[in-house]
Amino acid sequence: MQAPSATRGVATSPDDTLAAPHAQAADDVLAALASSPEGLAPDEAARRLASHGPNRLPSLAGRSPLGRFLAHFNNALIYFLLAAAGAAALLGHLVDAAVILGVVLVNALVGFIQEGRAEKALQAIHELIAAQAHVLRDGRRMQVPVETLVPGDIVLLEAGDRVPADVRLVQVRALRIEEAVLTGESVAAEKQAAPAPAAAALGERHCMAYSGTLVATGQATGVVVATGRETEIGQISALLGDVAPLTTPLLRQINRFGTRFTWITLGVAAVLFAFAVLVRGLAWPEALIIVVALAVGAIPEGLPAVITITLAIGVQRMARRNAAIRQLPAVETLGATSVICSDKTGTLTRNEMTARRVDVPGGAIAVSGAGYAPVGRLTPEPGAENAEQRLADAERLILAGVLCNDARLHQVEGEWRVVGDPMEGALVALALKAGLAPEALRRAWTRLDAIPFDARHRFMATLDRHAAGDCRIFVKGAPDELLALCMAQAAGETGVALDRDAWAARIAQAAGEGERVLGLAVKPVPAGTHALQFADLEEGLCFLGLVGFIDPPREEAIAAIAECRAAGIAVKMITGDHAATAAAIACQLGLGDAPRVLTGGELDAIPDDALPGRVAETAVFARTTPAHKLRIVRALQSTGAIVAMTGDGVNDAPALKQADVGIGMGHKGTDAAKEASRMVLLDDNFASIVAAVHEGRVVYDNIRKVVAWTLPTNGGEVLAVIAALALNVAMPMSAVQILWINLVTAATLGLALAFEPAEPQVMRRRPRPPERGLLTPFLIWRVAFVSLLFMAAALGVFFYSLGRGDELAMARTLVVNMVVAMEVFYLFNVRFLHMTSLHWRGVLGTPAVLAAVATVVAAQLAFTYLPVMQAVFDTRPVTFADGWLIMGAGMVIMVVLESEKILMRRVGKRYHRGDRP
Ligand code: ATP
């Protein structure tokens, strides 16, 4: 794809432009944009924002509301109903025709409104996870919403970031960017700060990072040269169509079922029509009306809309519990989740690090204090002979920790907070406790180059030059990796030869106490060195010692893990940390007393065919890389598990995509990880995953309830019509009356089920087997049984009324009221699929249930007593005594239904394991 403009202007103020920033030196671009390496002042940024407008792409015009409304008429059922209305009109049944049309309209309107609500709910969730960018303003690093970026802003980019605007790169470290969205090139492009030729095509402008592309590796700083629709992507307006489809596998299954059902119904209707005319000898218009009644009764018009809204309510409830759904199908899958694989740091633990020990060659030093406040001391163990030496060595180690570090501490309302990585923040606090001045040290040393931390190599290195000219490489990272790098260490800076075994024992001791252990090393290099390569670390590194941090488990994670255990969900911790640290934290979290630990190295040695078994029985995976995560997910899935997996780094994306529910971290996650996920945790908290699983189960239950409640209505009506035809008696309900029942009850009672709260035992059941369809044998039995019950009650009332000499219209009015009353009672029964409804919570209902019942009662009163309705629906006023009769019959049916529940649970326990819950 070629750029639409090779030399587009860049506005710094409305009337001053900068052409082709890729062809100019970075300093010139900075000058032209009236910016500097320290960034803009906040008030200048605000001024530019006012004049340039937000850094937002114009959204593609979605379907117009009218288009969305009309789409609701585009299905077989509606065609059929329209044809029926036409036929009724032709036969002179104008009222019937009008009612059918009215129902079609109301149905489309309800669908339209509910779909709109669902879309809005999803949209709101997308805004919750709006992207953030890291910028420098007045020399201070801060996080701001991407929308507030302006030309001249200095942005910091690192692996996993989505580039937030068009940026002229100023400083580049091993930066590679995936630009496929813009150039179609799938290999990540290497970047550098030197200018490119003016005529370079978009893909060859190696000093530019374009909005919407993804940082694959490395780090950079750059100056924003274009925002919003001024960016390259804004000009070609691609990328924007990623509105998530409002559908899920379940919804598709139901829609398919609905379509099939419609055609079957039409077939049956045709046969019945022939039967009525040829066998029963009815006049064809009369037969047609019967057939229309049957078809109208059979088809669950409102079902898809109610299910969509059930899903949308689930999404909203999950968002309230800090789980933002990015893709609707995740709502369903969450309910079936059987394994949760979670990162440790920040998800299971609080990610609030405090250094507790410093270990130098001469021995250990205890560190006091809590949190990031610089209050505490370094104390060698009492009586240590070499205390002075230890403290001097500790200072050297802490210097490395402060320089090989990007975090800063600052005080907000008296509380010390970290900007950047918490462990690095804890190193700054450690320096303050040791009496050093980290900011002064950072001013005295200038960073020349760096190798950023990456979960694959587990260390970070910087090349720094002291004001006096002295140059050093500082490295911090997983101590085992560092010891391997320091293999060739002679008696260097510390004057002590490296004793690997002794260090390994000290690491094991700290890790065994649950500490996160970090190693530090240094290497002097010749003055004048400017660049840092991996090869520079291969020899000459001198191991300085260790720092042990505590990062306490989250209390709520402990409770959530216990909840998972009760719910039959396995929890696995997958961490890059040391095996002993992982095991100790797992113990504290309740993942087992002596949980099995597999390290990344051990995983590599297990062949593919043996892996599923080993992975299934292991609770803790340590020293893993993102590639291991992918193997673990696949192995678990091959055992039939439904796997939820968390991730934050750019390299986690494949595992997140592979998992059934990939979960990105809202705070510490990269854009790449979030975009690969189906759900994003707003608080990075494990407990929120479990809350989402809980809500997922509730949503699935509610969908089952909606189906279990809706289908018998249709079934009962159809059976009543067929029975009447078979018995050669008048129809117990007219077509429009059937439509009335379906409409008034689906939009009220059916919808109330979408708002149902959780049943008490929802997290005490095993996960739903994924292969189990919605219509389980139990549900089919339920639908059949209740349909028969409804038919029996409807016909019972009908014949009773006719038998005592009522006119047909009166008998039909009673039947309609009977069916609606049964629906109300059945609603109370179905609210608890897994236990009896005869308890206070069941009887009192919820506000949604009560409102629905009140509406239905009001509608039925109008239907029965309002003259207009009497004219339209041909109804008659019901006497007080008959009203009681109907209520009494409803209660009897409730008792029958509850008895069936008890009976079926007993039978189910014996025969239907897994189906009958
Ligand atoms: P999790 O995957 O559970 O979040 P983690 O955060 O412990 O685990 P990584 O971030 O992969 O896993 O870290 C692995 C190891 O790398 C840590 O134990 C630590 O020793 C080291 N490490 C982590 N962060 C840094 C950093 N910023 N600089 C240097 N080393 C680091």
- Average pLDDT for residues 704-723, to the nearest whole number? 87
**CA atoms in the 13 A half-sphere facing the CB of 232:** 30
Range among 91-95, 250-254, 310-314 with highest mean pLDDT value: 310-314
Residue-wise pLDDT tens digits, 614-639 = 999 999 999 998 889 999 999 999 99
Range of weakest confidence among 333-342, 539-548, 898-907: 898-907
Task: Tell me which of 343, 344, 427, 458 to substitute to probe ligand 1's pocket, judged by most ligand atoms within 8 Å of the beta carbon.
Answer: 458
Give 808: exposed, middle or buried? Use CB within 10 Å, 0-12, 13-18, 19+: middle
Tell me the C-alpha distance between 290 and 16, whole Å.
77
**What integer best gives the mean pLDDT of the chain?**
85
Among candidate residues 521, 526, 581, the one with its CA nearest the CA of residue 553: 581
Tell me the C-alpha distance between 168 and 159, whole Å.
17
Q: Which residues contact 794 (CB under 8 A, 6 or more apart)?
A: 716, 717, 720, 732, 733, 815, 818, 819
Cα 458 to ligand 1 centroid, rounded to whole Å: 6
Write out the residue limits of the CATH 1.20.1110.10 domain(s) in the chain: 249-320+692-912
Cα–Cα distance list, 636 to 186, 610, 641, 835, 914 (Å) = 30, 12, 6, 33, 21
Cβ atoms < 10 Å from Cβ of 770 = 15
Is the CB–ligand 1 distance for residue 345 below 6 Å? yes
Residue appearing with tokens 């209520």: 887
Write out the residue limits of the CATH 2.70.150.10 domain(s) in the chain: 4-59+125-242
The phi, psi pair for 291, rounded to 5°, reads -65, -40
Among candidate residues 301, 237, 309, the one with its CA nearest the CA of residue 84: 301
Is the CB–ligand 1 distance for residue 547 below 6 Å? no
Is the CB–ligand 1 distance for residue 576 below 6 Å? yes
Q: Which residues contact 424 (CB under 8 A, 6 or more apart)?
A: 405, 406, 407, 418
The phi, psi pair for 285, rounded to 5°, reads -65, -40
Cα 103 to ligand 1 centroid, rounded to whole Å: 61
CB of 318 closer than 8 Å to CB of 121: no
Handedness of CA 679, 681, 685, 687 (dihedral sign): negative
Residue-wise pLDDT tens digits, 449-462 = 888 888 888 999 99
Looking from the CA of residue 421, the nearest atom of ligand 1 is 27
Cα–Cα distance list, 220 to 23, 134, 177, 238, 808 (Å) = 18, 11, 11, 25, 83
242 is catalytic: no
pTM of the complete model beyond 0.75 = yes
Beta strand pairing call for 620-622 and 570-574: parallel
Residues pairing with 205 in the sheet = none
Write out the residue limits of the CATH 3.40.1110.10 domain(s) in the chain: 354-550
Q: Taking 70 as the threshold, does the pLDDT of residue 831 lie above it?
A: yes
Cα 454 to ligand 1 centroid, rounded to whole Å: 8
DSSP 8-state symbol, 244: P
Cα 815 to ligand 1 centroid, rounded to whole Å: 70
Q: What is the pLDDT of residue 246?
A: 53
Is the CB–ligand 1 distance for residue 478 below 6 Å? yes
Looking from the CA of residue 578, the nearest atom of ligand 1 is 18
What is the residue with the minimal CA distance to atom 27 of ligand 1?
453
Cα–Cα distance list, 810 to 244, 857, 873 (Å) = 51, 18, 11
Residue-wise pLDDT tens digits, 123-136 = 777 777 678 899 99
Task: Tell me which of 342, 423, 648 to substitute to probe ligand 1's pocket, judged by most ligand atoms within 8 Å of the beta carbon.
Answer: 423
Q: Taking 90 as the threshold, does the pLDDT of residue 721 lie above it?
A: no
Cα 576 to ligand 1 centroid, rounded to whole Å: 6
Tell me the C-alpha distance between 773 and 631, whole Å.
28
The phi, psi pair for 251, rounded to 5°, reads -65, -40
Cα 345 to ligand 1 centroid, rounded to whole Å: 8
DSSP 8-state symbol, 161: P
Task: Tell me which of 219, 344, 345 to substitute to probe ligand 1's pocket, judged by most ligand atoms within 8 Å of the beta carbon.
Answer: 345
Residues pairing with 481 in the sheet = none
Q: Taking 70 as the threshold, does the pLDDT of residue 325 lie above it?
A: yes
Is the CB–ligand 1 distance for residue 655 below 6 Å? no
Is the CB–ligand 1 distance for residue 516 below 6 Å? yes
Determine the CATH number of domain 249-320+692-912: 1.20.1110.10
Residue-wise pLDDT tens digits, 639-659 = 989 999 999 988 888 899 899
What is the residue with the minimal CA distance to atom 9 of ligand 1?
576
Q: Taking 60 as the threshold, does the pLDDT of residue 492 lie above it?
A: no
Catalytic residue among 343, 406, 652, 882: 343
Give 868: exposed, middle or buried? Use CB within 10 Å, 0-12, 13-18, 19+: exposed
- Average pLDDT for residues 319-332, to the nearest whole number? 87
Handedness of CA 808, 809, 811, 812 (dihedral sign): positive
Cβ atoms < 10 Å from Cβ of 884 = 10
Tell me the C-alpha distance between 290 and 288, whole Å.
5
What fold does the segment set 4-59+125-242 form as a domain? 2.70.150
Q: What is the pLDDT of residue 916?
A: 41
CB of 694 closer than 8 Å to CB of 762: yes
Cα–Cα distance list, 79 to 86, 92, 290 (Å) = 10, 20, 18
Q: What is the pLDDT of residue 14?
A: 37
What is the residue with the minimal CA distance to atom 26 of ligand 1?
453
Q: Which residues contact 88 (CB under 8 A, 6 or more apart)?
A: 94, 96, 97, 100, 289, 292, 735
Residue-wise pLDDT tens digits, 394-448 = 999 999 999 999 998 988 888 898 888 999 999 999 999 999 999 999 999 999 9
Task: Name the amino acid, one letter, at 386.
Answer: N
- Average pLDDT for residues 51-79, to the nearest whole number? 75
Looking from the CA of residue 624, the nearest atom of ligand 1 is 11
Residue-wise pLDDT tens digits, 370-391 = 889 999 999 987 777 788 889 9
Cα 62 to ligand 1 centroid, rounded to whole Å: 43
Q: Taking 50 as the threshold, does the pLDDT of residue 759 lie above it?
A: yes
Please provide the DSSP assignment of 27-72 as one string. Answer: HHHHHHTT--TT-B-HHHHHHHHHHH--S-PPPPP---HHHHHHHT
Q: Between 97 and 870, name the one with better pLDDT.
A: 870
Cα 324 to ligand 1 centroid, rounded to whole Å: 26
Q: What is the 3-state secondary structure (H, E, C) of 855-867?
A: HHHHHHHHHHHCH
Tell me the C-alpha distance between 829 and 894, whole Å.
7
Is the CB–ligand 1 distance for residue 518 below 6 Å? yes
Tell me the C-alpha distance between 288 and 369, whole Å.
85
Looking from the CA of residue 404, the nearest atom of ligand 1 is 28
Is the CB–ligand 1 distance for residue 543 below 6 Å? no
Determine the CATH number of domain 354-550: 3.40.1110.10
Looking from the CA of residue 424, the nearest atom of ligand 1 is 27
Tell me the C-alpha distance between 185 and 182, whole Å.
8
Tell me the C-alpha distance between 588 and 481, whole Å.
26
Cα 370 to ligand 1 centroid, rounded to whole Å: 21
Is the CB–ligand 1 distance for residue 222 below 6 Å? no
Q: pLDDT grade, residue 843 (50/70/90)?
A: low
Instruction: Indicate the SS3 state at residue 407.
Output: coil
Beta strand pairing call for 354-360 and 363-367: antiparallel
Q: Which residues contact 736 (CB under 8 A, 6 or more apart)?
A: 95, 96, 99, 100, 872, 873
- Average pLDDT for residues 593-607, to the nearest whole number? 91
Is the CB–ligand 1 distance for residue 344 below 6 Å? yes
Q: pLDDT grade, residue 908 (50/70/90)?
A: low
- Average pLDDT for residues 586-596, to the nearest whole number? 89
Q: pLDDT grade, residue 6 (50/70/90)?
A: very low
Q: What is the pLDDT of residue 582?
A: 94
What is the residue with the minimal CA distance to atom 13 of ligand 1?
576
Range among 539-548, 746-755, 775-784 with highest mean pLDDT value: 539-548
Residue-wise pLDDT tens digits, 112-125 = 887 777 777 767 77
What is the residue with the minimal CA distance to atom 22 of ligand 1?
477
Looking from the CA of residue 348, the nearest atom of ligand 1 is 3
Write out the residue limits of the CATH 3.40.50.1000 domain(s) in the chain: 334-349+554-684
- Average pLDDT for residues 819-838, to the nearest whole number? 83
Cα 769 to ligand 1 centroid, rounded to whole Å: 36
Determine the CATH number of domain 334-349+554-684: 3.40.50.1000
- Average pLDDT for residues 58-80, to the nearest whole number? 72
Is the CB–ligand 1 distance for residue 577 below 6 Å? yes
Q: pLDDT grade, residue 877 (50/70/90)?
A: very high
Is the CB–ligand 1 distance for residue 575 below 6 Å? yes
Give 382: exposed, middle or buried? Use CB within 10 Å, 0-12, 13-18, 19+: exposed
Looking from the CA of residue 455, the nearest atom of ligand 1 is 11
Task: Tell me which of 343, 348, 518 to substitute to probe ligand 1's pocket, judged by most ligand atoms within 8 Å of the beta carbon.
Answer: 518
Cα 436 to ligand 1 centroid, rounded to whole Å: 25
Instruction: Indicate the SS3 state at residue 738.
Output: helix
